[in-house]
Chains A and B, each alone.
Chain A
């Protein structure tokens, strides 16, 4: 399902002393089956942007196309539920949304809201819990008896069980240990590859963006600063660093080699293997 934002603007608390422009002139498009990363500082508008993707927020100007639906500023929208089923959002610290007595009931909550029968929902829950790498035994437990990492996984399973076509992730690994981070990020990537789910990842981590994303969107002060493939984005690392954004370690290393030793590279390397090959090439060319 394609999601397109056309000239979107969003203001918080219009007509109050707290009115504040959070997004403006946003024109982006997320193609079906792609993996897009949205990067920016806190306050750059990424979380606001993300809430437009399933019509939780309506733009105060412009239009949002979600599949065959159009959300337009100033128009009342009804029956938004189908959109929410197709676009699943995993919010920051999703474990805060857990509420039911058992993990199973909590995971079934989403699908059943969208009209799935209890029996089918339970099947979906079983599938989802396996996807997030937890044992089926967990299903009978109370979500509040689990560890932080397990709660996170259960909450994610709650969104996966809705079987969305588009998965939006708001810093899904914040506060997890490095191993948990990698496992969860890999799981989302596998899902994306295996089921062709379009994935939109909002993150601070350039490493993750460089590693998984097909497209990167850089947000700055409420608007799109730059968009492109990781190769395009990281070909001008200094520009990003000026914004105070990080670049992947490999790119920073390249930059350092370039500055201190005068080694030239054809393109930014986004993983160590690629970097090694490029360094080798550069050495052979002997342009030091």
Chain B
């Protein structure tokens, strides 16, 4: 189950999306997240979908893989869809059974929100799928650079982020290992009554916390013994360079925004 999660995972490949400057990709995702909310009719959502599909096709990430990665989140999508159907009471009444009523507005809203949700997840996972965690943090640090003037601990924030990203797979692996060890001791994580399943989280979480704290301490020691003393005066081995294709990417999201403004109702 866990190895199907694609959130936060990097798939090395040699595609156009992989070669983009991380700053460009970060900006793209940020802007995309903002403009998604502009869409409010079929045409504008269609435009967003086309844009997303284009991005995916530039990334060479196998579609089936993306689909598998979305599976764990389907539940959330379906859940929000249902909420909208149940609680949005706008437009024409389409179906009625006792207290249960479906309105046209609810159906449409639910449908749009699910699409919005899917697109957001796809685009953000595309960022992490095509950008190594280190590049993401480098890009982040550069983008937030100006904030240093106002005493924002930009380097520290970037470091925290890279550590967090770096340890997602490790934590997943650890979770799986402990799950296996406890399964071998008779715990059933995947079936049985809810009460038992909730209880079975304890033998999983306690060891995870213990090992995470231990790991954090070891990491701090290792960093200090290698002379880490913050970002002050630190030079970079990996230089970021902004290319024409990155500018084009920015232009494309600009065009998308303008078109959304024109097409929304």
Contacts and interface: CB of A to CB of B under 8 A. Distances in A.
The B interface, classified by DSSP as helix, strand, loop or mixed, is: helix
Interface stretch (A87-95, A175-183, A185-193, A222-230): A87-95
Contacts of A10: none
Contacts of B181: 89, 91, 94, 96-97
B186 A91 contact: no
Nearest to A81: B186
B184 A56 contact: yes
A265 interface: no
Contact of B68 (A16, A89, A109, A162): A16
Q: Of residues A17, A18, A91, A159, which shows the largest number of chain B Cβ atoms within 10 Å of its Cβ?
A: A17
Interface residues of B, number: 27
B178 A96 contact: yes
Interface stretch (B80-88, B204-212, B226-234): B204-212
A89 B182 CA distance: 10
A84 B203 contact: no
B165 interface: no
B108 interface: no
Interface in B159-213: 174, 177-178, 180-188, 202-203, 206-207, 210-211
B92 interface: no
A51 B13 CA distance: 31
A110 interface: yes
A159 B185 contact: yes
Contacts of B11: 17-18
Given A13-B3, A18-B3, A96-B210, 16 more contacts: A16-B3, A81-B186, A81-B188, A88-B184, A91-B180, A91-B181, A91-B184, A96-B181, A97-B181, A97-B207, A100-B203, A109-B185, A113-B187, A158-B185, A159-B184, A162-B185
Interface of A: 12-13, 15-18, 51, 54, 56, 81, 84-85, 88-89, 91, 94, 96-100, 109-110, 113-114, 144, 158-159, 162
24 contacts: A13-B4, A15-B68, A16-B4, A16-B62, A17-B11, A17-B13, A56-B180, A56-B184, A84-B183, A84-B185, A91-B181, A91-B184, A96-B178, A97-B181, A97-B185, A97-B207, A98-B207, A99-B203, A99-B206, A99-B207, A113-B186, A159-B184, A159-B185, A162-B186
> Which 8 residue pairs across A and B have the least CB separation, nearest first?
A113-B186, A99-B206, A97-B181, A110-B185, A89-B184, A99-B203, A91-B181, A114-B186
